[in-house]
Chains A and B, each alone.
Chain A
């Protein structure tokens, strides 16, 4: 996976800013995507490109259990969110529906990667390469089961009895 980074240099990005409550009535995912991050960054929809990544601080996705949050990001083209830590319901929703990869990073990646940097992510080696700055960072590996659910393409495609 290779793409450019949109960086939100703060902690506690909540699901109300990822997709504000008034859009939870929207069932068309393409339309939902036009409102992604609207609560924090009204320019997000115009600047995001297919294959981009979001980089942020601690407790990303805190708040509401709305699955609309990873869906809105995913349908905006976001392939992964890199964060110092995730709120658990967001993390699980992202994996369950195979909407995007929630990637836990360390401080070196958070500090090293800037807005607009081109990076590549290799989940088989748990490495993040910053192509723009020629740096490499380690991501925290997925737990075994999360890796399997991701590999299967989501909760409903994962068959635990085949383990």
Chain B
């Protein structure tokens, strides 16, 4: 059936669509989104297109400069490091580890934080208060310090640093969710839903959660950039991912010895971290502004 647009000249966007329209107006944030999209594709598909493994050593080409250098070779596009491992491969795998791990950390922290926050927001009195401030003590200590404490107890390793960062990210999700649920709970549409016979759980999932999704996305992007920085910082300090692993922070600390001879081996992973964090922050900031503009409209 041909869809005529005679009567649809007034187009009414849905809330999500409205936020997207607002977001598109911010060109820098849009560029950040493209950059982030590129990284996501790289993480998902990159390893399939690379001829080398992240641990393969080419002893004929040690400390080979990148391909654009006069001494470079096109087989190793980003050059090689001190023991002849292909840097492009390692950076792509490093992005996969750093970005992927951070993504799951944030997802887990969000899930746990939101459930606790929602429960705190829906319950009343002393219980709500206790739940709400259960993990507040963690907020007083910087993420890195918590991670160092946990690593000191459980030993080094990517897994332990993951636990530490998840734990550190949870309280802010609890607080934001709780505040939001509290705020929305007083609104009349919740009373209306209650008069429809909705239970507390149904009110949360069907009435409040649809209003919260955008806030959660914004908070998650902010948490994602924090998580990436922390994971690589712990890797750099040799507290997180350990040496042969191509985690970006661990790669940086590896390359520190050869930094003067082969500056590319430290600048390329560094640039990857920088671009990832920058693009995520741009997207997060753009989303926040878009959301604010939409709500204030």
Q: Answer yes or no: are A and B bound together in one complex.
A: no
Footprint of A on B, CB under 8 Å? Answer: none
Listed in ascending order, the chain A residues whose CB lies under 8 Å from chain B are none
